[in-house]
């Protein structure tokens, strides 16, 4: 016989148990309700995709693709990866299903698990959850940029995620925005930045030194205390934006102002995914320690084309559900598990059948009912009803069954009344 062995969830992966799961459900429900009011529709995406899809969109040199993906050879030897994020999949689906022919902007939201092999810590997991949304807008080549329209979409998307998290009860969060330029101006800035970094190379740690070559923008993300003064003195992208990017960023700020949305411009907000251009944003929340970004997003005009689709503009965000839940719990906004409305305490040969019938009738009427399947003395059964926090105990003994009644006990004050079985739901509702 094989040896008995206990199992634990793999490192960085966790179970979400009641009562926490009730808060998860509530957050997801708020997201669906709020997103529907902005006329977004649900898209359900696969959990794994061709590895190449992420390499091309998120970027082969990014940490996510370079170090953190769960990649494996499928049986036909093709390389597939568990999705580290969902924007690439949304864009793939948009192209695959010809969604550019749909009327108006295509506005989609998704929720579900993502996978990144990062070092686990508070608020950072290897399987984590995102609630995200994307807006895709066809952008024919011969039509010039409409900055006010594009910035209006950016601001609406930002407004939507803020309404969502505020309706969940989050307070004290901060919206950070930036523009990281476009294909024209960013490469020039990156070279200016690289040159400045080379000049201060000795003052940087090994990670940042490596990034001078691979991805200088990521140096701005560094949280290393010893590098902060050096980074603050580096050239800033705002001084190197082209005319179009400057105009877009100015418009974005006007659009946020119009919506009375408070923000901070954070020139170091570059984000770790290659597909961004112009607008980037993040929302940080208190109580999360170093992993305090609850939401990240930005504009990705050109990504659809890069993946073989027609010229299209895109903007979206993903909110880290695990982190939002943590922040809500830290702020004392955790959901309380909903106790049962009724507990059926039954005893006697004929009472079980009546208990089954009463439980079904109450459930059909929408009540949450706990029906024990062990016959118990009333004292023990009512003790359990108390520990489960049931609102009412429905007591069924041989006498009640014979009379077609139940004894209804209100657990809060212990008051009891005899009620006809047929009228029970009405009494619970009162």
Report the nearest approach of ligand HAM to the CB of residue 294 (Å). Answer: 5
Is residue 309 part of the contact set for ligand HAM (CB under 6 A)?
no
DSSP conformational letter for 123: T
Torsion angles phi and psi, residue 409, rounded to 5? -110, 120
Cα(359)–Cα(368) distance, integer angstroms = 9
Is residue 87 part of the contact set for ligand HAM (CB under 6 A)?
yes
Contact 419, 406 (CB under 8 A): yes
Report the nearest approach of ligand HAM to the CB of residue 288 (Å). Answer: 9
Closest CA to 145 of 11, 266, 279: 279
Provide the 3-class DSSP secondary structure of residue 400: helix
Interface characters, 107-126, with ligand HAM (x: CB under 6 A): ---------x-x----xxx-
Is residue 295 part of the contact set for ligand HAM (CB under 6 A)?
yes
Q: Under rule CB under 6 A, which residues in 40-69 are in contact with ligand HAM?
A: none
User: Angle at the Cα of 65 (from 133 to 61), degrees rounded to 5?
Assistant: 115
Closest CA to 81 of 117, 109, 50: 50
Buried b (16+ CB within 10 A) or exposed e, 41-67: eebeeeebbebebbbbbbbeebbbbee
Torsion sign, CA atoms 156, 161, 164, 168: negative
Report the nearest approach of ligand HAM to the CB of residue 90 (Å). Answer: 8
Closest CA to 49 of 287, 307, 282: 307
Is residue 230 part of the contact set for ligand HAM (CB under 6 A)?
no
45 or 425: whose CB is closer to ligand HAM? 45
Q: Which of 63, 85, 105, 341 binds ligand HAM (CB under 6 A)?
A: 85
- Other residues' Cβ atoms within 10 Å of the Cβ of residue 190: 17
Q: Which of 111, 230, 294, 428 binds ligand HAM (CB under 6 A)?
A: 294
CB-closest chain residue to ligand HAM: 320
Closest CA to 161 of 176, 148, 149, 179: 176
- Contacting residues for 188 by C-beta, under 8 A, at least 6 apart: 240
Is residue 170 part of the contact set for ligand HAM (CB under 6 A)?
no
Q: Residue 175's beta-bridge partner residues?
A: 283
The two tokens of residue 420 are 């006809």
Report the nearest approach of ligand HAM to the CB of residue 157 (Å). Answer: 9
116 or 211: whose CB is closer to ligand HAM? 116
270 or 385: whose CB is closer to ligand HAM? 270
Provide the 3-class DSSP secondary structure of residue 408: strand
Q: Which helix (H) or strand (E) holds 178?
A: strand 174-179
Is residue 301 part of the contact set for ligand HAM (CB under 6 A)?
no
Is residue 128 part of the contact set for ligand HAM (CB under 6 A)?
yes
Cα(55)–Cα(401) distance, integer angstroms = 68
Is residue 134 part of the contact set for ligand HAM (CB under 6 A)?
yes
212 or 273: whose CB is closer to ligand HAM? 273
Is residue 330 part of the contact set for ligand HAM (CB under 6 A)?
no
Report the nearest approach of ligand HAM to the CB of residue 315 (Å). Answer: 7
Is residue 296 part of the contact set for ligand HAM (CB under 6 A)?
yes
Buried b (16+ CB within 10 A) or exposed e, 300-331: bbbbbeebebeebbbbbbbbbbbbbbbbbeee
Q: Which of 245, 320, 382, 393 binds ligand HAM (CB under 6 A)?
A: 320
Interacting stretch for ligand HAM, rule CB under 6 A, among 17-25, 178-186, 230-238, 317-325? 317-325
28 or 118: whose CB is closer to ligand HAM? 118
Size of the site for ligand HAM (CB under 6 A): 24
Is residue 105 part of the contact set for ligand HAM (CB under 6 A)?
no
318 or 345: whose CB is closer to ligand HAM? 318
Is residue 162 part of the contact set for ligand HAM (CB under 6 A)?
no
166 or 375: whose CB is closer to ligand HAM? 166
128 or 352: whose CB is closer to ligand HAM? 128
Report the nearest approach of ligand HAM to the CB of residue 22 (Å). Answer: 20
Binding stretches for ligand HAM (CB under 6 A): 85, 87, 116, 118, 123-125, 128, 130, 132, 134, 273, 293-298, 316-318, 320, 322-323
């Amino acid at each position: 016989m094989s040896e008995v062995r206990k199992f634990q969830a793999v490192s960085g992966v966790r179970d979400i148990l009641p009562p926490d799961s009730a808060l998860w459900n509530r957050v997801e429900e708020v997201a669906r309700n709020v997103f529907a009011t902005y006329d977004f529709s649900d898209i359900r995406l696969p959990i794994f995709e061709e590895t190449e899809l992420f390499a091309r969109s998120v970027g082969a040199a990014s940490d996510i693709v370079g170090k953190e993906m769960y990649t494996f050879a499928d049986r036909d030897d093709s390389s597939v990866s568990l999705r580290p994020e969902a924007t690439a999949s949304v864009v793939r689906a948009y192209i695959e299903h010809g969604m550019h022919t749909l009327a108006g902007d295509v506005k989609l939201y998704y929720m579900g698990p993502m996978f990144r092999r990062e070092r686990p810590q508070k608020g950072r997991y290897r399987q984590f959850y995102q609630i995200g949304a994307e807006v895709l807008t066809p952008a024919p080549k011969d039509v010039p940029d409409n900055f006010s329209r594009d910035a209006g979409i950016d601001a609406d998307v930002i407004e939507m995620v803020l309404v969502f998290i505020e309706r969940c009860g989050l307070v004290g969060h901060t919206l950070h925005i930036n523009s990281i330029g476009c294909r024209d101006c960013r490469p020039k800035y990156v070279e200016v930045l690289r040159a400045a970094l080379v000049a201060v190379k000795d003052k940087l740690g090994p990670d940042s030194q490596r990034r001078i070559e691979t991805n200088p923008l990521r140096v701005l993300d560094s949280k290393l205390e010893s590098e902060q003064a050096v980074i603050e003195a580096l050239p800033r992208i705002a001084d190197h934006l082209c005319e179009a990017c400057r105009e877009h960023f100015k418009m974005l700020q006007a659009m946020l102002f119009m919506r009375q949305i408070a923000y901070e411009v954070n020139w170091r907000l570059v984000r770790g995914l290659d597909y961004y251009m112009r607008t980037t944003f993040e929302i940080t929340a208190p109580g999360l320690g170093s992993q305090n970004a609850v939401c990240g997003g930005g504009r990705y005009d050109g990504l659809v084309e890069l993946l073989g689709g027609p010229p299209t503009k895109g903007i979206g965000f993903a909110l880290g559900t695990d982190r939002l839940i943590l922040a809500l719990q830290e702020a004392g906004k955790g959901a309380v598990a909903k106790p049962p409305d009724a507990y059926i305490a039954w005893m006697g040969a004929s009472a079980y059948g009546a208990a089954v019938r009463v439980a079904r009738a109450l459930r059909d009427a929408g009540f949450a009912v706990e029906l024990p399947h062990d016959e118990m003395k009333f004292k023990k059964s009512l003790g359990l009803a108390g520990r489960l926090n049931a609102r009412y105990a429905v007591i069924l003994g041989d006498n009640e069954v014979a009379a077609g009644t139940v004894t209804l006990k209100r657990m809060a004050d212990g008051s009891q009344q005899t009620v006809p079985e047929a009228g029970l739901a009405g009494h619970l509702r009162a």
